[in-house]
A = this chain, B = another copy of it.
């Protein structure tokens, strides 16, 4: 079985743990969001790729859901002593090594996809991890505060401002000129089906779909998504702040309607949201209600099994 996913960070990585348990023999390709990538201290940081890599490779901080386990903070503390910014993005020493290794490969002329493959040689995540693109695409957030109306980098909004300043909109800067990374379109075309894990529909899955060619390739396949919203609230993260900005209600049904029936064939909602199955705006999308909390691997495995079953049924 060949499964391809579009994935963000924590939600995608946790779902993938369940998927690997549910389908140990499947060939899984993960197309990761790089719109959150940011240059910090001159180093290329790819938060979502790293979260997937660390989670599946056994190096994640389980408490946080992102970053490395057993971290120390000598490097950042020294950088602060040098007045080198920003201070609002916390990077541990072990995590720094990943960014140093990646940046060194990129500086040597390697595209991000090849650098990611090199890093994965160590972590052996059990999936093929591809960045959505080797080009520079940056998720920017339009805000208005005492500094005026302006666009800031997604990480500044998400991490420094905790998404508390309302987003007026998102721009995926550079997306229109970007191309899918090598292997991305083939992994979609050759998959038995495509899964959308419970990642942020706007700034994770949305930005991946904004890379020219990806949305069309995905729409041509059987696609099953997993709702990142349960009972009107995001399971984790601040997806509601993103949905509100683009005029989408924070509900399982509204997110599916936002993706649309051209893209989605099936949609898993939590049992709390079973009513979505009969929502008129989801005509053409097969909705199934199952428990969606990923509190432990057995629960996540059951979710992944339900996604595989629905996708298999819909592919027939």
Contacts and interface: CB of A to CB of B under 8 A. Distances in A.
Interface of A: 41-43, 72, 74-79, 81-84, 92-94, 96-98, 100-101, 103-104, 107-108, 118-119, 121-122
Contacts of A79: 97, 100-101
A103 B42 CA distance: 7
Q: Interface majority SS on A: helix, strand, loop or mixed?
A: helix
Contacts of A76: 97
Most B-side CB within 10 Å, residue of A42, A118, A122: A42
14 contacts: A42-B103, A42-B104, A42-B107, A42-B108, A76-B97, A77-B97, A78-B101, A79-B100, A79-B101, A82-B97, A83-B122, A96-B96, A96-B100, A100-B100
B75 A97 contact: yes
Contact of A75 (B93, B103, B122): B93
Contacts of A104: 41-43, 84
A45 to B, nearest CB: 12
A76 B122 CA distance: 15
Which 7 pairs between the two chains have the least Cβ-Cβ distance?
A: A78-B97, A42-B104, A74-B93, A82-B101, A75-B97, A84-B101, A42-B107
